[in-house]
Structure formats: C-alpha cells, structure tokens
Amino acid sequence: MMEKEKLDFDRGALIQTAIDNLDHSYAPYSGFYVSAAVLMDSGRIYTGVNVENASYPAGICAERNAIFHAISCGEKRIVAIAIVGGANGEIRDYCPPCGICRQVMREFCDPSRMLVLMAKSVTDYKEAILDELLPDSFGPDMVPGTLAH
C-alpha cells in the first residue's frame, strides 16, 4: 500500500495513461472526448472514458467510469486522478471534472489530500486537491449509521 503521506507519485505516468486511452472515448453526440486515469491507494491505476448514449442522459463521464472501474475491482481509496479531453479528441485546454464527478470522488477519498490533475500534456497540467474544487463538501461521514467508510 502507498503511504498516505506520500503523494510523490509519477504524475506524468498517470497523465500518459489517460492520454493513451482517450481513443476509447465513445462520444458521437457531443464530439467531446474525455479520458481519466485514477491512482488508488493500492498503487494500481484504472482507466475510464466518457460513454455517451442515443438516450442522452444515459451517458456517463470518464471520471466516474474510471472510479467505478476501480471500485468494481475491489479498490477503496483514491489517491489522484488525471483527466484529459477536448472536442474531436484534440487536447487544447485543461479539462475540469463536472460537479457530479467531484461528488463521486468525495465518496472515496480524503478531500484534503486527493489530487486532481487537469492536463494538456504530461508536463503541462493544473493540479488541485479535491477540497479546492468541492469546498464544504458533503461526504459519507455526514450520514450517520450507514456502512459507508
């Protein structure tokens, strides 16, 4: 397991994983391709892309697909997530996570430590902790008597 204090992971490698998977995005309706790679506290990385649908609301974001992928494989806690995306699959700007994805991240991390990397390339990225992107957040600890961790 990675040390909780250690956030000196290879940011470039996490971003590169997201970039490498961008081709898998299924975005025929918006034309906006997004890819995410999430690093879990096991040290493993899981990928996800946005997957749209002819019934538009049935589509889902890349970040949630990556996180649900990890949780489905038995992972528990997020260390960091890298996000890339752009119209027609061309990465021209930083791609911030939507509000729903920020809330899903909140469920599986320490928001004062989890890192969100919004990348244009492996060397050009913006970095924020989740607390900065989702201040005063509502999390599992606020719901007493549940089995949430």
**How many other CB atoms are there within 10 angstroms of residue 90's CB atom?**
10
In angstroms, the Cα distances linking 75 to 8, 42, 101, 108, 140 are: 20, 7, 17, 9, 17
- Tokens 């040290």 map to which residue? 43
Distance in Å, CB of 85 to ligand THU, minimum: 6
Q: Does 53 bind ligand THU (CB under 6 A)?
A: no
Catalytic residue set: 63
Q: Does 38 bind ligand THU (CB under 6 A)?
A: no
**Sole window of 7-15, 57-65, 106-114, 133-141 interacting with ligand THU (rule: CB under 6 A):** 57-65
Distance in Å, CB of 65 to ligand THU, minimum: 8
Strands (E), 16-93: 32-40, 45-49, 78-87
Q: Does 59 bind ligand THU (CB under 6 A)?
A: yes
Select the residue interacting with ligand THU from 14, 15, 22, 62 (CB under 6 A).
62
Select the residue interacting with ligand THU from 17, 21, 47, 50 (CB under 6 A).
50
Contacts of 98 (CB under 8 A, 6+ apart): 61, 63
Which residue(s) pair with 125 in the sheet?
119
Distance in Å, CB of 119 to ligand THU, minimum: 13
Largest CA distance in the chain: 46
Q: Does 63 bind ligand THU (CB under 6 A)?
A: yes
CA distance 117 to 133: 11
- 9 or 32: CB nearest ligand THU: 32
- The residues that touch ligand THU, with contacts defined as CB under 6 A, are 27, 30, 32, 34, 50, 52, 59, 61-63, 97-98, 101
